[in-house]
Structures are given as structure tokens and as C-alpha cells.
Amino acid sequence: MSDLIEGYIGKTTNGKKSRIPAKLDYIQSLTGGFLAIFMWGHMMMVSSILVSKDFMYYVTKFLEGSFIIDGGSPLMVSIFVFIVFVIFVVHAALGMRKLPSNFKQYQVLKAHTKSIQHQDTQLWGYQAFTGFVMFFLGSIHLYIIMTNSADIGPYASADRVWSEWMWPLYIALLLAVEFHGTIGLYRLCIKWGWFDGKDPQATRKRLKKVKWALTGFFLTLGFAALIVYMKIGMEHADKVGEKYVPTSMIKEAK
């Protein structure tokens, strides 16, 4: 009943303003913060390929839970991806509230951003645009990984990147996620005044620097890893489907 009353009358059953907008704002920050930090960890794992194929192989096995189950199980990965997917959808649903939702809003946002030349307004524009892009690209990536969690590894992943044509999508998704995530973390700190201290303006300048450094760092790492996967994928193109066998096992077999 309270949903009906709150929906129609705009007041809770004890006559107060709904507390939900506060919760939504909070959950938006919580899910955004989680996704952004998760993306750091994710990038570290992805870029394990920069060390060696063996290293990437063992990182994958570790994430499949090889420390609990002998040999690991991709199901662990599927379950984890599903949880991330749910958080992603919740975050996107909340982010939608802020996007321009009709032509008039879009028109004034565009005219204003162009006219005022204000960096943080511009950055929000990028955040909104990249957020919109990720509705599609993020969903595709998450669904594929969730349903193909057994096919993660030095060859399987490289085949997906190259022979299964994921590289164009990954280029766009990498740009979108790194811009969106780092701008988002910067905004998160400002929004809640976390590091304001005595001189909020000085803090903001510092946060901005850290933000650009992070954007640069993760984009460099991301593209370096992507290029390596593309190269491996290209070289492995005639053997698609073959799984990677770590060097140590090859030796044992001899």
C-alpha cells in the first residue's frame, strides 16, 4: 500500500518526503565506486599477458578457484561475472536518471557545454556519453564472458579478440570505461567532499591531476595488453579453439 500512497501522493505513510532519492544517490555512488575499483583489478589481470602467456594462464586458473578446487572451475568465474553484471545494470539504471531525457534537455546541454568551455561540465558530458555507449558494449562483453567462462586463457582470449572480431568492440569499450571510470571516481570524491580538508580547491586540483594520471596509466596498460592479444590471436588464427598448455606441463609430458 505504501508504494501506492507514495507514488500518487508523493509522501510516505507518515507524511514525510520519500527517503528513496537519498538511497538512489547513495547506491549510484556505491555501484559506480565498486565498478571503477573493480576495473582496476580487472585491468591488472588482463595485462598479466604482458608478463607472459604462462603468467596469464596461472592468473586465470587462480581466479577459477584453483586454490580451493583442484584445477579450478570456470563456474566460479561465471558466478562472479553475473554479480558484476547485476551491479552494472543497477548502476546504469540509476545513471539514466541523470542523462538528458528529452530533446530540449539535450539541446540546452549541448549549447551550454559548447559555449561555457568549462572542463568539469565537459567531463560530465564525456561521462554521460561513455555511460550510454556502455549500455551496449558493456552488456555484450559481460554476457559473452559470463557464458564462455571456460574460454579464458592466453589462446582462447586472443582468439576471441582476433578471430571472433572482439577487438573493435574492445577498443571502444576500453576508451569508454577508462574515461567514465576515472572521471567518475574524481566526481565521487568531489560529490561527497571526501578529501576537502582545509582547502577544497587545492584538493580538487590535486584530484584532477591524479584522475588524468590514472586515465593515462590504465589506457596505456589496456592498449598494450590489447595489442599483445591481437598479435597472439593473429598468429594463432589457423588453430582457433586450441587451448594453451603451460610450459611446465609440456616439460612434464616429455
Partner 1 sequence: MSRDITISVLKFNPRDEDSKPEFVEYNLKETPGMTLFIALTKIREEIDADLSFDFVCRAGICGSCGMVVNGVPTLACRTLIENYPDGKLQLIPMPAFELIKDLSVNTGKWMDNMSTKVESWIVSNDEVDITKIEEKMDPDTADAVFELDRCIECGICVASCATALMRPDFVGPAGLNRIARFSIDPRDKRTDDDFYELIGDDNGIFGCMSLLSCEDHCPKHLPLQNKIAYLRRKLVSVK
Judged by the rule CB under 8 A, the positions of this chain that interact with partner 1 are 16-19, 21-22, 24-26, 97-98, 100, 105, 108-109, 112-113, 115-118, 120-121, 124, 187, 190-193, 196, 200-201, 204
88 or 155: CB nearest ligand HEM: 88
Partner from partner 1, ligand HEM, none contacting 138, C-beta within 5 to 8 A by type: ligand HEM
200 or 241: CB nearest ligand HEM: 200
Partner from ligand HEM, partner 1, none contacting 120, C-beta within 5 to 8 A by type: partner 1
Partner from ligand HEM, partner 1, none contacting 91, C-beta within 5 to 8 A by type: ligand HEM
Q: What whole-number distance in Å separates Cα of residue 244 and Cα of residue 25?
A: 45
Question: Are residues 42 and 80 in contact, defined by beta-carbon separation less than 8 angstroms?
Answer: no
| Category of 239 on φ-ψ map: left (φ > 0), alpha (ψ -120 to 50) or beta | alpha
Partner from ligand HEM, partner 1, none contacting 87, C-beta within 5 to 8 A by type: none
Contacts of 135 (CB under 8 A, 6+ apart): 92
Partner from ligand HEM, partner 1, none contacting 193, C-beta within 5 to 8 A by type: partner 1
- Determine the 3-state secondary structure of 64 from DSSP: coil
- Determine the 3-state secondary structure of 15 from DSSP: coil
Alpha carbon distances (Å) from 73 to 23, 26, 134, 208? 36, 35, 28, 41
Partner from partner 1, ligand HEM, none contacting 73, C-beta within 5 to 8 A by type: none
Calculate the dihedral angle through the C-alpha atoms of 159, 165, 169, 172, rounding to the nearest 10 degrees: 90
150 or 221: CB nearest ligand HEM: 221
Q: Which residues bind ligand HEM (CB under 6 A)?
A: 28-29, 32-33, 35-36, 39, 88, 91-92, 95, 98-99, 127-128, 131-132, 134-135, 138, 177, 180-181, 184-185, 187-188, 191
SS3 content of the chain, % helix, strand, coil (to 5): 75, 0, 25
131 or 222: CB nearest partner 1: 131
Give me the least distance between CB of 71 and ligand HEM, in Å please.
31
The distance from CA 154 to its chain's CA centroid, rounded to whole angstroms, is 21
Partner from ligand HEM, partner 1, none contacting 196, C-beta within 5 to 8 A by type: partner 1
- Residue 188's nearest CA partner among 199, 197, 180 is 180
36 or 175: CB nearest ligand HEM: 36
Give me the least distance between CB of 98 and partner 1, in Å please.
6
Q: What whole-number distance in Å separates Cα of residue 159 and Cα of residue 242?
A: 9
72 or 125: CB nearest partner 1: 125
Q: What whole-number distance in Å separates Cα of residue 196 and Cα of residue 175?
A: 29
156 or 173: CB nearest ligand HEM: 173
Q: What whole-number distance in Å separates Cα of residue 89 and Cα of residue 83?
A: 10
